[in-house]
Amino acid sequence: MKINLNSKALQALAFDVLCVMALVIIGTRNHDTDTGISGVLFVAAPFLIAVTGIHILLNVLGKSNLIAAIWGSTVLVGMLLRNLVFNRGTALAFVIVASVFLAATMWGWRAVVARRHS
């Protein structure tokens, strides 16, 4: 098994991590929870694990441009990890907000990049 994250794959991972971090930072501020680095990272951890894992898996499979798989896995695996491993809630409203926000931002940055390079 070879993991070869080229610069394009690393850029995609970095921007997707920024999408996750934006979601978490906005959420922690809106809900008056711990906005310090440890609080933000604790909330972000399940989603950071999910987004990194799916990027690595898809890269190994040679399918690193499957945004629907990246988005869906980030939300699904992130919510599962959040609930089962990190013992945090996954209220339906949060699932919906996170799904919509991550869809908009993950597809959004890719649309901007594609438009700039066309």
Which token pair is 108?
A: 């959004």
> pLDDT tens-digit profile of 62-114?
898 899 999 999 999 999 999 999 999 899 999 999 999 999 999 999 999 99
Confidence of residue 51 (pLDDT cuts 50, 70, 90): very high
Euclidean distance between CA atoms 114 and 26, whole angstroms? 26
Mean pLDDT of 7-13: 91
pTM for this one?
0.91
Which token pair is 79?
A: 């919510």
Euclidean distance between CA atoms 56 and 36, whole angstroms? 28
Work out the angle between the directed axes of helices 92-116 and 7-30 (0-180°, nearest 10).
140
pLDDT, position 2: 59
In degrees, to the nearest 5, what angle opens at C-alpha 113 toward C-alphas 50 and 102?
Answer: 30
Confidence of residue 4 (pLDDT cuts 50, 70, 90): low
- Give me the chain's average pLDDT, please: 92
